[in-house]
Amino acid sequence: MSFANDPQKSHMREGVSLRGKVDILADKDVDQAYAIAKSIKHPWYRCQALAKVAEYSSDTFSKNILQESFDSAMMCHDENRRVSVACWPLGVSLRLGKRDLTQRFLDECMRQLNMDNDPISRWCATQVLYAIKTDTAFLMHFFHTFQKATSQGHGWRVEKSIKYLLNDSDIDKDQRYIDYLHQRQAGIEKWKTAHKAKN
């Protein structure tokens, strides 16, 4: 099947293009941007585009648009994709001060993470952490789920994630995250040393 005849790939290509149009229009013609965002078939790109529109919408409509964005995220095919792209409306809802909505989004992301059985896939929890990192209460609420989600797995991507998180000034304010990340870092180094010794 050619690229042009593959519906999934066609929707992805179209989604990238239309999301770009939304990015350009959102602060100039929010109604037109919303219409374009709604027309995107691929849930990943529709989610991102709607979150962008919500940033420039009136307070009356932004809540509903953020919900549409989050609902689109939940249509993605697995937990990793759902949580990863849901961080767009999650972050926007927090920046707009919609705490009740942020709480609902965060709770659903936590539920999705707890359903994911892949130890590497669950590291998308770091994206949730970045989305909420400026809010002490949400950081506290998320800690145990983050700890569980990232308790396994190793490799350069995991090590890179830990390094970036440890150097983040917002996350540095919550000592529990810092202590835990140092613990994970030490555990990975211990595993690497033991693995080298066996070889």
pTM for the full predicted model:
0.91
- Model pLDDT for residues 116-151, shown as the tens digit of each residue: 999 999 999 999 999 999 999 999 999 999 999 999
Q: Are 135 and 94 in contact (CB under 8 A)?
A: yes
At residue 198, the pLDDT reads: 67
At residue 12, the pLDDT reads: 83
Using alpha carbons, select from 61, 125, 123, 128 the residue that is nearest to residue 94: 128
- Model pLDDT for residues 49-104, shown as the tens digit of each residue: 999 999 999 998 999 999 999 999 999 999 999 999 999 999 999 999 999 999 99
% the chain with pLDDT above 70: 94
**Averaged pLDDT of the chain:** 93
**Separation between Cα atoms, residue 190 and residue 196, nearest integer Å:** 10
**Separation between Cα atoms, residue 106 and residue 100, nearest integer Å:** 10
At residue 44, the pLDDT reads: 97
**Separation between Cα atoms, residue 114 and residue 42, nearest integer Å:** 25
% the chain with pLDDT above 90: 84
Q: Are 83 and 128 in contact (CB under 8 A)?
A: yes
At residue 1, the pLDDT reads: 42
**Separation between Cα atoms, residue 143 and residue 137, nearest integer Å:** 10
* Predicted confidence band of residue 15 (pLDDT cuts 50, 70, 90): confident
